[in-house]
Copies of this chain bind each other. A is one copy, B any other.
Amino acid sequence: MPELRQDLVTQAWVAVATERGRRPHDFAAVAESVPAVGTSCPFCEGNEHMTPPEVMAYRAPGSAANGPGWQLRVVSNLYPAFGPAEGNSEAYRVGLYTAMNGLGLHEVLINSPRHAEDLGLAPIEAVERVVRGYIDRYRAHEQHAAVKYTLIIVNHGRAAGASREHPHAQLFGIPLVPPVVEAEIRGVERYRRANEGRCPYCDIIDYEMGQGERIVYANDGFVVMAPFASRVPFECLILPRRHDGRFERMSPGEQRQFAEALRDSLGRLRRGLSNPPYNFFIHTAPHGRQGGQGYHWHLEVLPKLSIAAGFELGSGIMIDTVTPEQAAAFLRGVADQA
């Protein structure tokens, strides 16, 4: 029988219905992601003139801005969803409704000059560098009064919304705290009130490490698991063992451990599921908010192997056709990187 499962923090329900995964389709399969031939990639070394000027880069000593010689590069998004960072941030009326200017920053962090250096395959130093890039830009966003939150996301593969194949992240500095993050913060507070002040994410780590069946990977600093109420097949949650509301406070040692957990998870997905499309994002406490320490930052990976259709959109309840226990066992069984 299908089972409804509730997320411990957000109280959102998901339906785990494995029967649903067996249904046939009368549409022919189409290739998922077809890199176009002969296009010139603006994120590759030597093509720096094809992007807006860099706002940050890690470069070889003596190399000039906006030319070759970099290891990691951050530019403004040519097609911004938010910006500029300065202006009137007051909400205003539009007849019956409320609106506000979409102030903020929208940046692209190019992981490396190498077009094919996937995060799941890259040398650990390269992944560490990307993590350091996230933290450095996050702290830069903090300086803008209009930026109330910075969401760091990765879209991998066309079906997951990527428009460029070259590995990169996007940083969205936005003028409000995202409702999904607000819901998690409220959920943490509710859980603490009901459980003698304990953090639900810390309790999840203790419980899942004791159980083991939903654990995918663990090192001294981080635990990767298939959440009990996974919304999609092979969802992965990366949690720091040390309670902290803010990802940007990771020590250099923790950054290395986080890079290892991230590379391991993405590598298992890639090798086990033939390079599936996925989205990931980091949830951390809002910029400068008091009480951010109550929260517990984390990274969520959502492979895009199914479509959120009419039921999911109209109800807010996701249907997951692979049990998290099966997903975790499968991912644990994927051979380590050769």
Interface residue ranges, A against B (CB under 8 Å): 1-6, 8, 12-13, 15-17, 19-28, 30-31, 33-37, 39, 41, 78-84, 87, 91, 94-103, 151, 153-155, 158-165, 170, 172, 174-176, 178-181, 183, 203-204, 207, 211, 228-229, 279-283, 300, 302, 306-311, 313-317, 319
Residues A27 and B98 in contact, CB atoms below 8 Å apart: no
Residues B307 and A94 in contact, CB atoms below 8 Å apart: no
Could you show 26 A-B contacts with beta carbons less than 8 Å apart?
A: A1-B84, A1-B102, A2-B81, A2-B82, A2-B101, A3-B99, A3-B102, A6-B91, A8-B96, A12-B179, A16-B102, A17-B82, A22-B79, A96-B203, A151-B314, A153-B310, A153-B311, A155-B309, A161-B308, A180-B315, A180-B316, A279-B309, A279-B313, A279-B314, A281-B313, A281-B314
Closest 5 CB pairs of A and B: A161-B309, A2-B102, A153-B310, A281-B314, A178-B315
Contacts of A307 in B (CB 8 A): 159-161
The distance from the CB of A256 to the nearest CB of chain B, in whole angstroms, is: 24
Taking each of A33, A158, A203, A211, which has the highest tally of chain B beta carbons within 10 Å of its own beta carbon?
A158
Contact of A4 among B101, B158, B281 (CB under 8 A): B101
Contact of A207 among B19, B27, B96, B311 (CB under 8 A): B96
Identify the closest chain B residue to A178 (Cβ).
B315
The distance from the CB of A207 to the nearest CB of chain B, in whole angstroms, is: 5
Contacts of A82 in B (CB 8 A): 2, 15, 17
Contact of A174 among B16, B158, B179, B315 (CB under 8 A): B315
Contacts of A17 in B (CB 8 A): 80-82, 102
A79-B19, A180-B316 known; A155 and B100 CB under 8 Å? no
Contacts of A151 in B (CB 8 A): 311, 314-315
Residues A80 and B4 in contact, CB atoms below 8 Å apart: no
Residues A79 and B23 in contact, CB atoms below 8 Å apart: yes
